[in-house]
Structure 1
Amino acid sequence: MSAPAAPLTMTDTDREVLEIIARSSTAAHREVVRARVLLASADGVGIRTVSGDHGVSAMTVRAWREAFTAEGLTQWGTVKKGRGRKPSIPEDTIAEIVRLTTTETPEAETHWSVRSMAKKVGVSRSTVHRVWSELGLKPHRHDTFKVSNDPNFDAKVIDVVGLYLNPPEKAVVLCMDEKSSIQALDRTQASLPMVPGRAGTMTHDYKRNGTTTLFAALDVLTGKVIGQCLPKHRHEEFLTFLKTVDSQVPKGLQVHLVLDNYATHKHAVIKHWLANHKRFHLHFTPTSSSWLNQVERWFRDLTEKNLRRGIFDSVPDLIDSIEAYIDANNDDPKPYVWTATAESILEKVARARTTLTERAS
């Protein structure tokens, strides 16, 4: 039996480019699969496992590994000589566009545009657009992310992700947080309805009619939400919401709450209440890691589908709208599917920390 293949060696820049391609929704499917195969190979996954996971033959995996080892990304998107249509963009031009896009920025600007890149490299704008589209590069966009400095980051990630992937028996796992200062906004003029050929309209300015705070707990298994609107988000309101959760969760179940490190959640009054309600177990996400709490995704949906374009004459009107959204959600709940393992998260964060350290030095 042959020895297993060694992990594929790649630079941080190559990994960043391949991760962009692997997530792309516009790149060719074969290129997305190829990027994912190379990333898995760099993580030490065996050839046969990679082949089965991504639906390609072991021979193809070996060929892609050998090509990457010999050429890196310089030949990406091209075909072998004598086959198919001849590439219209020189290989060194593609490599230079990729290098500039991923490692540099224009003078006095934060990111490249097709115009600035075309001028820099000496090609047409359509050429730049084609290269970016094929490789899934989008310099005009960015994702928000912050590497947590929590000293207990690893332990907290393992704890929370463990609840998602392997929830305890005879228990409910709830992702809980507050969405504070939700504004009851009314427009200064009546909106116009959508008609063929024209979108609906709203005035850019608005009138503020007060605020409310939504306390919400998302059941990760069912997708149902326990929600309550309260005036503020102090420990008094948090205690009120805990009592609401206690009244709505069947008494025979343990309650595991995933929540952030906000001081309100650790107030002495809260600790005293928890000491007398032994079925409640609090699991804190690491600092600067709100993405680990699934209710944040539900808050985003609430904002996009109910709040952003809503028109509210008063706070009670706003609360009625939020409660109607919760009721509709619970009539047809759809849980979010968590797939990331604690190991994959920790590996990604470790790479991010290494990159930040290298760039800071």
Structure 2
Amino acid sequence: MRPPAFVAKLRDVVGLYLDPPKRAVVFSVDEKRQIQALDRSQPGLPLKKGRAGTFTHDYKRHGTTTLFAALDVATGRIQHACLPRHRRDEFLRFMTRLERRVPKGLGLHVILDNYATHKTPEVAQWLRRHPRVHFHFTPTSASWLNLVERFFSELTTRQLRRLAVTSVAQLEAAIHGYVAHRNADPRPFTWTASVHSILAKVRRANKTLASLH
């Protein structure tokens, strides 16, 4: 049995996906932390007929960056920034820029996980100064509810996994390039699961786990 707080947050987030509010923009926001600028010590073998491409697992490390990303749930467009750290200050800098880019007269509903940076007193003060911005937190241990995670997975698979760079600047340029390419033909990630179907899956999973003990 899931606690009431889990169900309430689940209903809140899924409701934004399936029945978004009028005169508002819904964003799915998160950070992909500590992305490493990696240079492979040896080049991989290219993809050939009958053989998958290969790449070495021996790396030289050249620093890290943190990707802040906001997925516009309706359009699929990505707002992003690469910053050296992922503290409260960087989060608020990103949110301030995001808020300024949304036309006046529209509300902002922002889906976030429960990372401590998103819940500091300074963030609460920022929200009071920006009353059109509303935060909606996913249930604990349910970051899979945040659609921007699908973008991070796509970025990793299609760009970062085989990328070889010798500096953070090159890494960030590759990320900027990928986002620009995606935004040229944006495609939203469609959410279809209802609250009822999610809770039913959770109950089945709990029964399966219980039967193993």
Q: Same fold (TM over 0.5)?
A: yes
Task: State the AA in 1 paired with 2:177.
Answer: A
Q: Give the superposition deviation at 1:203.
A: 2.4
Q: Secondary structure at the match of 2:16?
A: helix
Contact 1:150/1:286 (8 A) holds in 2: no
Residue matched to 1:236:
89
Matched, 1:156 2:9: yes
Distance 1:267 1:150 in 2: 24
Any residues of structure 2 matched to 1:23-102 within 5 Å, and which? none
Residue matched to 1:216:
69
Any residues of structure 2 matched to 1:181-220 within 5 Å, and which? 181-196=34-49, 198-220=51-73
Residue matched to 1:179:
32
Residue matched to 1:326:
179
TM-score computed with the length of structure 1 as normaliser? 0.56
Contact 1:150/1:287 (8 A) holds in 2: no
Q: Give the superposition deviation at 1:151.
A: 5.1
Distance 1:155 1:195 in 2: 51
**Distance change in 2, residues 1:358/1:196 (3 Å):** closer
Which of the pair has the greater relative contact order for Cα pairs under 8 Å at 6+ separation? 2
Residue matched to 1:304:
157
Distance 1:348 1:214 in 2: 32
Higher normalized helix content (fraction of residues): 1
**% identical equivalent positions:** 56
**Distance change in 2, residues 1:150/1:211 (3 Å):** farther
Q: How many residues align?
A: 213
Distance 2:44 2:81 in 1: 30
**Distance change in 2, residues 1:183/1:199 (3 Å):** same
Distance 2:161 2:150 in 1: 15
Task: State the AA in 1 paired with 2:78.
Answer: V
**Distance change in 2, residues 1:263/1:150 (3 Å):** farther
Q: Give the superposition deviation at 1:291.
A: 1.1
Any residues of structure 2 matched to 1:119-138 within 5 Å, and which? none
Distance 1:195 1:174 in 2: 40
| CA RMSD after TM alignment | 1.7
* Structure 1 portions without partners, runs of 5+: 1-146
Q: Give the superposition deviation at 1:195.
A: 4.7
Q: Give the superposition deviation at 1:202.
A: 2.7
Q: Secondary structure at the match of 2:31?
A: strand
Q: Give the superposition deviation at 1:233.
A: 1.0
Task: State the AA in 2 paired with 1:294.
Answer: L
Contact 1:256/1:280 (8 A) holds in 2: yes
**Distance change in 2, residues 1:195/1:243 (3 Å):** same
Residue matched to 2:209:
356
Distance 1:270 1:348 in 2: 34
Any residues of structure 2 matched to 1:279-298 within 5 Å, and which? 279-298=132-151
Task: State the AA in 2 paired with 1:239.
Answer: L
Distance 1:163 1:225 in 2: 18
Q: Secondary structure at the match of 2:193?
A: coil
Higher normalized strand content (fraction of residues): 2
